[in-house]
Amino acid sequence: MEDITASELAGFGVGTLLVCVTIAAPRIDAFISASQRSSLGMCKRCGNLKMIACTKCKGVGVVRGGPFGFNLDYELYQLLGSGGSKVQSTACTKCQARGHFSCPDCCKI
């Protein structure tokens, strides 16, 4: 680490900043959208849609195989447009394959 130039050090700093911003972006977006919804008099959680997408299947109702529900091969096939992937998919057990839940804030029974 004794031969690090100022440019390399700046590159490490910028890289670290970009990683931190990428990790924090969903939380910042959720905060901004919740504040916009409350200023418009809407439900902060669902925006008066009365439904929230399932976090496990991301609103699809199907969980794809792979570690942590992520399969790099499937993502690449979707990106490139070739449909020859053999990805095992199962129905989501958290939402019973519906892909959404009723909003607990505005659909109180």
* Residue 91: φ, ψ to 5°: -65, 140
Residue % of the chain over a pLDDT of 90: 28
Average pLDDT over residues 92-109: 84
Tens digits of residue pLDDT in 52-84: 988 888 888 888 765 555 555 556 666 666 555
For residues 49 and 70, which has the higher predicted lDDT (pLDDT)?
49
Q: Which of 109, 7, 90, 94 is nearest to 50 (CA)?
A: 109
Measuring CA to CA, which residue among 95, 106, 11 is closest to residue 60? Answer: 95
DSSP state of 63: E
Which residues fall within 8 angstroms of residue 74, CB to CB, at 6 or more apart?
64, 66, 85, 87
